[in-house]
Amino acid sequence: MPLYKEIEKIRKDKGITKTHISRSFNKTPAWYSAISKGKRQLKADDLEKMAEILGVAPKDFFK
């Protein structure tokens, strides 16, 4: 499964909103929307922060 789809699956399973994630990164909801659709890539540092926000380990994105 592509990284962006795995992130979205985890986000939905945990009931975390797109708005919460975008605010945690101090970005707009459009920024996260682009990520959730695979139109924008996350930097390695952002991937670690995303894992922290979602309450998982970064390796969990790569099942």
Sign of CA dihedral 8, 51, 63, 13: negative
Of all residues in the chain, the percent with pLDDT exceeding 90 is 90
pLDDT at 26 over 90: yes
Mean pLDDT of all residues in 37-50: 93
SS (H, E, C) the chain: CCHHHHHHHHHHHHCCCHHHHHHHCCCCHHHHHHHHCCCCCCCHHHHHHHHHHHCCCHHHHHC
Range of the domain at 16: 3-62
Nearest C-alpha neighbor of 3 from the set 46, 31, 35, 49: 35
Quote the number of domains for the chain. Answer: 1
Q: What is the mean pLDDT of the chain?
A: 95
Q: Are 4 and 12 in contact (CB under 8 A)?
A: no
Residue 53: give its domain's CATH number.
Answer: 1.10.260.40
pTM for the model:
0.90
Mean pLDDT of all residues in 5-13: 96
At residue 16 the predicted structure's pLDDT band, cuts being 50, 70 and 90, is very high
Q: What is the pLDDT of residue 44?
A: 87
